[in-house]
Amino acid sequence: MNIYGYVRCSTTEQNERRQLDAMATAGVPRTHIYVDKQSGKDFNRPAYRLLLDKLRPGDVLYLASLDRWGRSHAENQEQWRLLTKEKCVDIVVLDMLPLLDTRQHKDLMGTFISDLVLSILSFVCESELEHIRKRQAEGIAAAKARGMRFGTPVIPPPADFAALVAQWECGTLPLPELLDITSLKERTFYRRLQEFRAEK
């Protein structure tokens, strides 16, 4: 029997330290902890797929919390069935002990309670994800309505762009110097040049 841990953060900026500390407290070796920095909307994640290949019957998988595992109600249910029924792996959700610990109460009633708790919590995880997306969309719409722009800021060409272009075209101003004067990247310069010529 081997014990493994799975840790997930939604973005590369988020810190997985709290989850790793929980795994260490539970006695999961650091070399047996698989970490993804990716959305929980589905289970198509590289570290999770590697973990699935490692798991064998009798192994134990530790999760810090259910929402760090996955946020889709249907996919959580399917993965739980795959792990516990097909792969014969036990799952321990550390922040839901003892309710979500398949090592305990393996009788019919214990299995029923675990499945029921899993279903309810998976529904809550998915609902929370939908609320997050809705709040993000509302925040972006409100920011756009206030005139906020998203993406790379547009750097306008300088007032003397035409004169600089003329010098560059006749060879008296090398491109690196022109880019330095205008603070434009090369690709941006050529885009501005195209726009400038279209306006002439």
Q: Write out the catalytic residue numbers.
A: 10
Side by side, which strands form the sheet with 90-93? 33-37, 3-9, 60-63, 90-93
What secondary structure does DSSP assign to 87-147, as a single string? S--EEEEGGGTTTTBTTS--SHHHHHHHHHHHHHHHHHHHHHHHHHHHHHHHHHHHHHHTT
> 76: exposed, middle or buried (C-beta count within 10 Å: 0-12, 13-18, 19+)?
buried
- Residue bearing tokens 């272009």: 165
- Residue bearing tokens 């739980």: 80
